[in-house]
Amino acid sequence: MKNLREITLPELEVMMAGMGEPKFRAKQVHEWVWQKFAADINDMTNLPKALREKLSLEFSIPKVKMHHSQYSSDGTIKNRLQLHDGFYVESVLIPTEKRMTACVSSQVGCSLSCKFCATGYMARKRNLDFDEIVDEVTLLNELAQKHYNKHLSNIVFMGMGEPLLNYKNMMKAIERITSPEGLGMSPRRITVSTAGVAKMIKQMADDKVRFKLALSLHAATDRKRNEIMPINETNNLAVLIDALNYFYKATGSEITFEYILFKDFNDSQKDADDLIKIYRQVPADLINIIEYNPIENAKFEKPEEERVDEFMEYLKVNKVNARLRRSRGKDIDAACGQLANVDHANI
């Protein structure tokens, strides 16, 4: 069965003409799929029954389904989502006073093997299709309305997988999410986070994207970054700095650095100095300093609060725009680096 959501509106118009149907039927189908988010062709009640039957013989709508949700004491909701082929991904709804943020996944598993990330200890099974990513967002939007009576305000591609290694589907999903015929969300409210795929950062620049970019830095020298992020061996800091500057020059879009603090690894004053050097070579708006969230396979620890405060104060004294980001959903393993689904048989 073909996926009806992969058929564009112009293609639908040609298809309807070939079936002897009027042109406006294509728009009706398109609206059912992308504005009403129909889960079944038979739900398209303004189509003639005979047309619905014809479409059902050839097409399906393989929707992502909510498997179950976990609720944190801080209001965060972690969700296990089931894909049509039996795989699962996790996504997170993060409510704050000013924002309602969806943290979405782009791959089943991940191939980058970052040493501090639960997803990094999984094999990458496959990329998510663009419509599956859109489903993630719409499901989280429904959840936000149900529990908080608010629509999503922001989307971050910071869940499972490396979004720039699923570039085509990520871009197509964002196009649909920001389309007036879709969710109509501003690109400026979307942030794509990457472990550092320099070639694709430059591709985003060439494509003149309007969303924000976050680089998961986590260490400010090649030696240390190689230890925890194997991707740095082929995408070192000099290459990434060049790519980020290329990106900013082409797009003017906001760039942030993500930097998890690990006890006795990257939390010294020397580490802060190295971070400042990187910061001053890129037109970055902000460094998000993130507290480490323990996972089963990794041996890293969170620094003492005094150490964190000293690190933040040193950045402040050196006029670095840095913010300490407290993790949400830690009690349900929904915080940064904790998404995995490792107990599912297919993973």
Output helix, strand, coil percentages for the chain, rounded to the nearest 5: 40, 20, 40
pLDDT in tens, 108-121: 999 999 999 888 88
* Token pair for 223: 């030696």
In whole angstroms, give the CA distance from residue 87 to residue 346. Answer: 6
The stretch 169-188 carries a mean pLDDT of 93
Which helix (H) or strand (E) segment is 251 a member of?
helix 237-251
Of 180-184, 186-190, 319-323, which gets the smallest average pLDDT?
180-184
Active site residue 58: no
pLDDT in tens, 83-96: 999 999 999 999 99
Say what the pLDDT of residue 205 is: 98
Domains in the chain, CATH or no CATH each: 2-60 (1.10.150.530), 65-332 (3.20.20.70)
The stretch 45-54 carries a mean pLDDT of 96
What distances in angstroms separate CA 86 from CA 10, 97, 169, 222, one per listed residue?
32, 36, 20, 39
**Averaged pLDDT of the chain:** 92
In this predicted structure, the answer to whether residue 290 has a pLDDT above a threshold of 50 is yes
Label residue 325 left, alpha or beta by phi (over 0 means left) and psi (-120 to 50 means alpha): beta
Contact partners, residue 89, CB within 8 Å, separation at least 6: 80, 81, 83, 105, 107, 108, 128, 136, 159, 160, 341
In this predicted structure, the answer to whether residue 44 has a pLDDT above a threshold of 80 is yes
The stretch 142-148 carries a mean pLDDT of 95
3-state SS class at 291 = strand
Question: What residue has token string 């998000």?
Answer: 288
In this predicted structure, the answer to whether residue 200 has a pLDDT above a threshold of 50 is yes
What share of the chain has pLDDT > 70, as a percent? 94
Are the C-beta atoms of residues 214 and 170 closer than 8 Å to each other? no
Label residue 161 left, alpha or beta by phi (over 0 means left) and psi (-120 to 50 means alpha): left
In this predicted structure, the answer to whether residue 339 has a pLDDT above a threshold of 80 is no
Say what the pLDDT of residue 291 is: 87
3-state SS class at 143 = helix
Say what the pLDDT of residue 120 is: 84
Say what the pLDDT of residue 341 is: 53
In this predicted structure, the answer to whether residue 345 has a pLDDT above a threshold of 70 is no
Cα torsion angle, 194, 197, 202, 203, sign: negative
Say what the pLDDT of residue 343 is: 43
The stretch 70-93 carries a mean pLDDT of 93
Residues 103, 110, 114, 336: which is the catalytic one?
336
Residues 13, 21, 90, 136: which is the catalytic one?
90
In whole angstroms, give the CA distance from residue 137 to residue 192. Answer: 14
Q: What letter would DSSP give residue 164?
A: G
The stretch 179-195 carries a mean pLDDT of 93
Q: Order of strands across the sheet with 212-216?
A: 65-71, 77-82, 88-95, 100-103, 154-157, 190-194, 212-216, 255-261, 286-291, 322-325
Q: What are phi and psi of 77, to 5 degrees?
A: -125, 115
In whole angstroms, give the CA distance from residue 250 to residue 185. Answer: 22
In this predicted structure, the answer to whether residue 252 has a pLDDT above a threshold of 50 is yes
pLDDT in tens, 202-225: 999 999 999 999 999 999 999 999
Q: What are phi and psi of 182, to 5 degrees?
A: -110, -120
Q: Using 50, 70 and 90 to split pLDDT, how confident is the model at 250?
A: very high
Active site residue 306: no
Are the C-beta atoms of residues 122 and 347 closer than 8 Å to each other? yes
Q: Using 50, 70 and 90 to split pLDDT, how confident is the model at 9?
A: very high
Residues in the chain: 347
